[in-house]
Structure 1
């Protein structure tokens, strides 16, 4: 079971770590897109979201307070779905479809992150192949 959970953690965080690195290395370009989407203070928002992605991803990957890492990913994902992928505002059918897919992906990943938070918090130190136990105890 421990190895399966480790493999799942690796697969789960690959998206977040690569995206977080992109946020931190391509801040200008991403800030322009965030500004287009109406995000206030887009450059600091892109940088802060990149930090959330990297910290949350590394935490889940390495098993260092993995519950907190999953919570950080949830905190990133749910607002991002509504702020960056507001498909209901789109009038072009193709853009609407693209934003709806991204919105649904973010909401689904937010749900998975919330479940991981509960899982890591509940199972605690019984889950092997982590560097620390959970920060929270459910």
Structure 2
């Protein structure tokens, strides 16, 4: 792992670990703010307990942040954190609903900060750490299978021709032995 990844991943994860712990300790105020988002989520089959959902989001943030910071399954951890960031941002920073210009500006800044974090998480989610991606490796494996199939067919043709020549030679030797 490169030095940049070793330093950048914990830096990116710190916000999520701290925010997740806060959601676990103090879900009440956040549950109140999350109510509009939770109302939409309950239509998708999630439970209608705002504090439970805020705590679950906090657990995902702490777990994903810890995994990302330590470099364990960083791509999956980044994807999980990106998934937690979307509802958090929509619930906590709806600048479009604010009427006070100063509050609106502050909420917009926080919204854009979270948007920047989301961009960093998306980059971390696709970062292969210098190794080829799964799609590339699958493509190469498919090419390898095709190459093996072609080689096997060619070798089978050669073996068939060789066996025919050998059979003709043996037949000729047997015929000569009889005469």
Report the TM-score when normalising by structure 1: 0.79
Deviation at 1:71, TM superposition (A): 0.3
Structure with the largest fraction of helix: 2
RMSD: 2.1
* Aligned pairs for 1:1-138 within 5 A: 2-35=2-35, 39-40=38-39, 41-119=49-127, 122-123=128-129, 137-138=134-135
Deviation at 1:10, TM superposition (A): 1.6
- Structure 2 unaligned blocks of 5 or more: 40-48, 136-179
Q: Give the secondary structure class of the aligned counterpart of 1:91.
A: coil
- Structure 1 unaligned blocks of 5 or more: 127-135
Q: Which has the higher contact order (CA 8 A, sep 6+)?
A: 1
Conservation of the 8 A alpha-carbon contact between 2:33 and 2:92 = no
* Number of residue pairs the alignment of both structures matches: 125
Report the TM-score when normalising by structure 2: 0.62
- Greater gyration radius: 2
Runs of 4+ residues deviating >4 angstroms: none
